[in-house]
Amino acid sequence: MRSLPSQLIVELNKLPNFNEEAFINAHNSENKITSIRLNPFKTAELDVEVNDKVLWNEESFYLNNRPSFTLDPLFHAGCYYVQEAGSLFLEHILKSVLNFENDLKVLDLCAAPGGKSTLINSLLNANSLLVANEFIKSRADILCQNLSKWGTCNTVVTNNDPSKFTGLHNYFDTILVDAPCSGSGLFRKQPEAINEWSTDNVAKCSNRQKNILSEIIPSLKVNGFLIYSTCSYSIEENENIINWLTTEFDLKYISIPINKEWEIVETDAGYRFYPHLTKSEGFFCAVLQKQNSENNTYRVSKVKNNILNKNESVILENYLEKVKHQFVKKNNQFHFLNNAALTFLNNFEKQFYFKKAGVCVGEIKGQDLIPNQELAWCNYLKISVNKLELDKENALRFLRKELFDGANDGLDKIGLQLITYKNYGLGWAKILQNRINNYLPNELRILKSN
């Protein structure tokens, strides 16, 4: 039997409707919960078997068994994301407070590995902007990869300290802060974390959370929404933070409607997910709205014209549909992005460190495009792009960078080919008379054999 920290149990008993016995029993039960969220832009028939829907998210399902996602080509194609069910409540929050027909600017401040960013991106219209920021460089890399798999052109990824955003007064319609925390909500999933938990660490996390929030609030628009979340049970990191925000800043706590059947517990300052009530791990979130009437709004400049020569235009337009997006060339690589993302890039290129902007298309050499991996995942690829459709066995061989057969088409196709599985891109290969050049980046290569 797992022994949960006694100080945490004492603290939770201060909350209304907390059931200590049921809470402890849930943490001593085996955790076999796995949930996935579908990519609405890539509606493939999945190879994994889905079960019940996650009640508070329209695109999410529980799985009967946890498969090896590494060995599922559709996972690599970005057709779904594996995400903890509690955090999927973000969709219900966003739909309750925002109108997604409007063009919005949204910041996901602590965004890696990308679950909440891809969720937000699924809801935004094509003219909106998502800025996904991650302070830790190694985590920013996986964030870029997961957002790229989603295939859209309205995102940028930055790798900056939250303080960098302080000067963007009244810029974002919504800011999500999924704050670094003590992680007690994951005790059942990561039992080793129980021994690492301490009240001192909770206090340190609370102070850090306050620092992050105080730096980011100026960049939220008047009447904009701040969404705060943690995977912690501690009151000090949750309700106390919300009460501090409403006391120290002109922010108002917003209560949103929830279905009683979901068994999510609403306290006086947020929403709690307990594993004995909800089919999820521990999670907390709250919504606040900015009330004050600051006048100093950040002024953005007009989008710069990015003029391509005729050769570049012809080559790039052979691959991508003509939509109201633009091409920009940075460090010899062409990027395809919407006006909002391009405006953000142009205005803040010297202020922020950018890891990603829109879709990186690739580099042009002579009359040829050397495609970037991101282009294989892009939702705007032309139907006419040369494709080589593989069955599952050969798709996995391609992802391992092994020799593969074009089981469905034959390898009689010469030249650059988009390698697909169930019509969704996995990467690029150049088919030659006597060999195949596999362009899959080495960091994406599957090392697992079975």
Domain assignment present for 449:
yes
**Quick one: pLDDT at residue 292?**
76
Look at residue 95 in the predicted model and tell me its pLDDT: 97
The candidate with the shortest Cα–Cα distance to 290, out of 235, 237, 216, is: 216
Q: The tokens of 111 are what?
A: 């965004």
Structure token digits, residue 287: 């919504």
Q: Which residues pair with 265 in a beta bridge?
A: 272
Q: Give the per-residue pLDDT at 76.
A: 98
Chain centre distance of CA 416 = 30
**Number of domain units in the chain:** 1
Structural domain of 434: 386-450
Beta-sheet strands, E only, within 192-332: 220-230, 251-254, 265-267, 270-273, 283-290, 325-330
* Cα–Cα distance for residue pair 250/199, rounded to 1 Å: 29
- For residues 78 and 39, the answer to whether their CB atoms sit within 8 Å is yes
Whole-angstrom distance, CA of residue 205 vs CA of residue 328: 40
Q: Is residue 355 part of a domain?
A: no
pTM of structure: 0.94
Asked if residue 341 belongs to a domain, the reply is no
Q: Using one digit for the tens of pLDDT, what is the confidence trace for 287-316?
A: 999 997 655 555 656 556 567 888 898 999
CA separation, residue 132 to residues 38, 76, 116, 143, 420 (Å): 20, 21, 10, 8, 28
**273, 89 in Cβ contact below 8 A?**
yes
Inter-axis angle of helices 89-97 and 115-123, nearest 10: 40
Domain contains 450: yes
User: Can you name the residues that pair with 369 across neighbouring β-strands?
Assistant: 364
What pLDDT was estimated at residue 399?
Answer: 97
Q: Is 336 domain-assigned?
A: no
Whether residue 52 is contained in a domain is answered as: no
**Residue 390, domain member (yes or no):** yes
Half-sphere exposure of 445 (CA within 13 A, CB side): 10
Gap between the Cα atoms of 41 and 38, Å rounded: 9
Strand-by-strand arrangement of the 35-38 sheet: 50-53, 60-63, 35-38, 80-82
DSSP 8-state assignment for residue 163:
G
What CATH number is attached to the domain comprising 450? Answer: 3.10.450.720
**281 domain-assigned:** no
For the chain, residues with pLDDT lower than 50 are 407-408
